């Protein structure tokens, strides 16, 4: 009986395909980013645009999606600033990249171009942002 169970387990191991996937790690920037606008161009490490990346604005507790969009074929996205809102909670994700979360304060006078590179532990690629849109 014990041999039969081992044989069945061995056959199951080789006959049923197994699927192993890498896990994503959420990357969150600790500091509030100051930028001129609520938009960016998203590029991969080679400088190529990342089209169809999902861009979401969340509530302050990161539990509710307030609005969502995606990058265009040139890797660009933008949201219209909401009246009275000072800090935006943004998450960007795309296949092959770890999701990135950050808090963004828009200030057209003092804001700078947001340029951020984050390593992706899954496949050693990274996010690159240019928020001077």
Query: What pTM was computed for the model?
Result: 0.70
Helix (H) or strand (E) holding 78: strand 76-78
126 domain residue, yes or no: yes
Residue 60 belongs to a domain with what CATH number?
A: 2.60.40.1120
Distance, in Å, from the CA atom of 122 to the CA atom of 18, rounded to the nearest integer, reads 20
- What is the model's pLDDT at position 80? 92
2 domain residue, yes or no: no
In angstroms and rounded to an integer, the radius of gyration of the C-alpha atoms of the chain is 21
Distance, in Å, from the CA atom of 62 to the CA atom of 49, rounded to the nearest integer, reads 26
Q: Which domain range does residue 80 map to?
A: 24-130
| Number of structural domains the chain divides into | 1
4 domain residue, yes or no: no
14 domain residue, yes or no: no
68 domain residue, yes or no: yes
106 domain residue, yes or no: yes
19 domain residue, yes or no: no
What string of pLDDT tens digits covers the 133 residues of the chain?
667 666 555 555 555 555 555 567 888 888 888 888 888 888 887 888 889 999 999 999 999 999 999 999 998 899 999 998 989 999 999 988 889 999 999 887 765 545 444 444 343 334 555 554 4
Using CA atoms, how far residue 15 sits from 3, 18, 35, 91, in Å, is 18, 9, 54, 40
49 domain residue, yes or no: yes
């Amino acid at each position: 009986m014990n041999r039969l169970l081992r044989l069945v387990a061995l056959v199951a191991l080789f006959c049923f395909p197994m699927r192993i996937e890498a896990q994503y790690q959420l990357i969150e920037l600790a500091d509030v980013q100051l930028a001129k606008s609520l938009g960016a161009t998203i590029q991969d490490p080679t400088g190529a645009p990342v089209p169809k990346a999902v861009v979401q604005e969340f509530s302050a507790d990161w539990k509710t999606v307030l609005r969502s969009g995606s990058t265009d074929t040139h890797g660009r996205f933008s949201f219209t600033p909401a009246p009275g809102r000072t800090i935006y909670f943004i998450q960007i994700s795309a296949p092959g990249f770890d999701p990135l979360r950050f808090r963004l304060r828009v200030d057209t006078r003092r804001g700078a171009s947001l340029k951020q590179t984050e390593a992706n532990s899954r496949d050693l690629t990274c996010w690159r942002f240019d928020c001077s849109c």
